[in-house]
Amino acid sequence: MTGPIDETLRIKARLERAGFTLDVDTAFPLQGVTALFGRSGCGKTTLLRIIAGLEHPPGAEVHFGATPWQSGKTFVPLHRRRVGLVFQESTLLPHLSVRGNLLYGYKRTPAPLRRLHLDEVADLLGIDDLLERRAEALSGGQRQRVALGRALLTSPDLLLLDEPLNALDTQTRREIMPFLARLSEETGIPTLLVTHAPDEVERLATRVAFMHDGQLERLEPLRDALARADSPLFREQGAVSVLQGELGPLDEHGLHPFGPPEARYRVPSTPGTTNGAGSQARLRIDARDVALALSAPDDVSVLNIVPVTIESLDEAPGHHGHARILAICRQHDGQTLMAELTRLSAERLRLQPGTRAHALVKAVAFLD
């Protein structure tokens, strides 16, 4: 299944409320997952509601590809916009079974428009064994997966997710993340995800739209958003790298090879991982878990030693006073790897842009 190709969602809107103004003029590619990222109150949900047709500011323009959803006197209401909506609190119909909830929108979707069907959606979301259960008997995580399934079964042209994991505890969020990651990839439906959680962006996003005080400040691919020291994603927890690559089969030591030969990692298999050999995976590396050496050491216990070239040296996020440096490095496969080190270490090694080095990666984690 494929979604719209080379099309954009264009929004131009201004909405004023007491103490707040949303002013946006932008276009999102209708491919993959676009994360609307920013602090609470910055306008993310308001923008999503304008796209859905739940807010109707005068003079706004919303175009889905060549189709005007709001323009001049034209206003297409929510039920005709063919969007799937999922909020942080799932709004299932308690008197219906899971099957009944899933089929609610499906039955109201004209047969020629049905691209997704019950069996494949239930399998995609791992809810096959819940179909006969009453909605009121579900856990929070199960309810949210059913809400996602109900949205998918309307075969929408666009999926709008408003903080879909926000009401869940940490363990349940972790359990649902793999299902969310598969949605856009396996259905081809372009997705807008409202979130203020960097880990959701790192795991799910294709690109990031950074919002602040009602303005959309920057729209960039995830790879670029994770390749600059001043990224808002690093504001609270420090710099991280997210590497994307293919997993190889487990070796005799219980390790998966990850990435191409010129940037090869060996990564322990983790319990419950959804990544099998041959699948694409994302690897998360905290910049504080990366050290640099000018020559490749062969007498250390660190497994992952990757050749890099330093591109820039910046003040590490969260460290004012210049005590720590963030080295932005380029692996030989073109991906960015961040290393956080003391200023003294950087000076002792005489690091500068263009320096060739070896990154010693002490800890890695699959983004499941």
Q: Taking the model in full, what pTM does it have? A: 0.89
pLDDT tens track for 249-281: 888 988 999 999 999 999 987 654 545 666 788
Give the pLDDT of residue 319. 59
**Rounded CA gap, 83 and 249, in Å?**
39
Q: Which domains does the chain have, with CATH numbers?
A: 8-220 (3.40.50.300), 240-366 (2.40.50.100)
Residue ranges in the chain whose pLDDT is less than 50: 1-6, 272, 274
- Alpha helices (runs of H) in 36-117, residue ranges in sequence order: 44-52, 98-107
Task: Write down the residue that tokens 């001043």 correspond to.
Answer: 230
In the chain, how many H helices and how many E strands?
A: 8, 21
Edge-to-edge strand ranges of the sheet holding 240-246: 240-246, 280-286, 365-366
Amino acid 273: pLDDT: 52
CA nearest to 329, candidates 344, 314, 319, 318: 314
Angle value at C-alpha 343, between 357 and 266, nearest 5 degrees = 40
